């Protein structure tokens, strides 16, 4: 696009007239959609800093237009870096904090989901409490879905869950605590997993895997008790069943089977900190270790786990992980006899003897 013509449209964004500003936003958005090269031209004129100024103006139409442009820009990594360097993350969070209408929440969640792919921005969003805000939007949408169940609500949910999936990549107690606050947050996520939307399905699955991984990755933070409670809450949200379902019927081929199996094994194996926590630290009985195994029994996961042990008997990581998971039954006093019956019925002893 000719730079001079682009400058004329960009100057409309600086107008004190809301009507002229909205016109400029519409025209620029149109040109961004018709030709991806136009983004480079408008960015050279200062589009991103100007759009960040506009999302601070108390005008719904201007907010919608500016967020729409920022959402498009933030699909590119260099644009995300510019937004971060301009201090735009704080402004995005403030918009979501103040947005009461669904269209604004939709735009804000889409923009956050795109911007959260920038690692430094993701960390900043966590510090600013964006996860709690996004969860609040998600819970509201879940209540409306029973009546609305339309494309707009689904689009809002998709953008929100994708943002949470990006947040979950950060292995830090603050992020995990925000995502796992209480049990309701992950319960809502697991309900959304049951829907037919592929992007929501993948985002929920990645959130679970990222959260489990964060509990067992090397970290300078002492958080054994937090890790055990996180596993407990994930079990309450039927995370083991979700992982088993994906292993039984692969829908997200981009996620390696090894990651799914290792995460499932962590639920069955349990945390070394479990026996050291005070009574009442976990949810109501059964404890997460028992609940994880009960879920495996209900959805056919025990037979699958035994089969995986045989299939991966020479795998340097999966074989010991699956063995530790099966041996984790010994720590599950309440349901040990029931689980052992299922394991014996699936020929676990013979399989283990062949695998070791």
Q: What is the mean pLDDT of the chain?
A: 80
User: What's 280's DSSP letter?
Assistant: T
Nearest CA to 68 out of 100, 33, 17 is that of 33
- How many angstroms separate the Cα of 116 from the Cα of each of 12, 93, 176, 273? 29, 11, 16, 32
The pLDDT tens digits for 113-158 are: 888 888 888 878 878 888 888 877 777 665 444 333 334 445 666 7
C-beta neighbour count of 304 within 10 angstroms: 18
The answer to whether 205 and 160 have CB atoms below 8 angstroms apart is no
Q: What is d(CA 312, CA 322) in angstroms, rounded to the nearest whole number?
A: 9
The pLDDT tens digits for 203-230 are: 999 999 998 888 776 665 556 666 777 8
100 compared with 27, residue with greater pLDDT: 27
């Amino acid at each position: 696009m000719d730079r001079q013509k682009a400058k004329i449209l960009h100057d409309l964004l600086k107008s004190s007239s809301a009507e002229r500003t909205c016109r400029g936003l519409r025209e620029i958005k149109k040109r961004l959609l018709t030709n991806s090269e136009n983004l480079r031209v408008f960015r050279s004129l200062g589009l991103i800093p100007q759009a960040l100024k506009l999302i601070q103006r108390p005008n719904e139409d201007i907010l919608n237009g500016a967020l729409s442009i920022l959402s498009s820009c933030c699909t590119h990594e260099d644009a995300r870096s510019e937004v971060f360097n301009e201090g735009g993350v704080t402004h995005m969070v403030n918009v979501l904090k103040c947005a009461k209408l669904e269209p604004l929440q939709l735009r804000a969640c889409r923009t956050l989901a795109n911007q959260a792919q920038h690692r430094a921005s993701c960390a900043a969003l966590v510090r600013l409490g964006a996860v709690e805000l996004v969860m609040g939007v998600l819970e509201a949408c879940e209540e409306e879905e029973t009546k609305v169940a339309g494309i707009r609500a689904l689009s809002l949910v998709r953008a929100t869950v994708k943002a949470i999936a990006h947040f979950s990549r950060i292995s830090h107690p603050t992020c995990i605590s925000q995502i796992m606050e209480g049990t309701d947050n992950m319960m809502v996520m697991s309900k959304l997993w049951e829907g037919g939307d592929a992007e929501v399905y993948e985002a929920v699955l990645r959130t679970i895997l990222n959260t489990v991984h964060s509990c067992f990755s090397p970290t300078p933070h002492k958080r054994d008790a937090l890790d055990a409670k996180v596993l407990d809450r994930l079990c309450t949200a039927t995370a083991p069943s979700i992982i088993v379902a994906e292993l039984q019927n692969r829908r997200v081929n981009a996620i390696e089977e090894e990651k799914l199996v290792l995460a499932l094994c962590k639920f069955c194996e349990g945390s070394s900190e479990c026996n050291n926590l005070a009574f009442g630290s976990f949810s109501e009985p059964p404890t997460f270790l028992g609940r994880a195994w009960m879920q495996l029994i209900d959805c056919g996961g025990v037979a699958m786990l035994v089969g995986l042990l045989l299939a991966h008997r020479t795998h340097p990581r999966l074989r010991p992980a699956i063995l530790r998971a099966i041996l984790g039954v010994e720590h599950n006093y309440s349901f040990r006899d029931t689980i052992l019956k299922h394991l014996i019925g699936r020929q676990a002893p013979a399989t283990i003897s062949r695998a070791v």
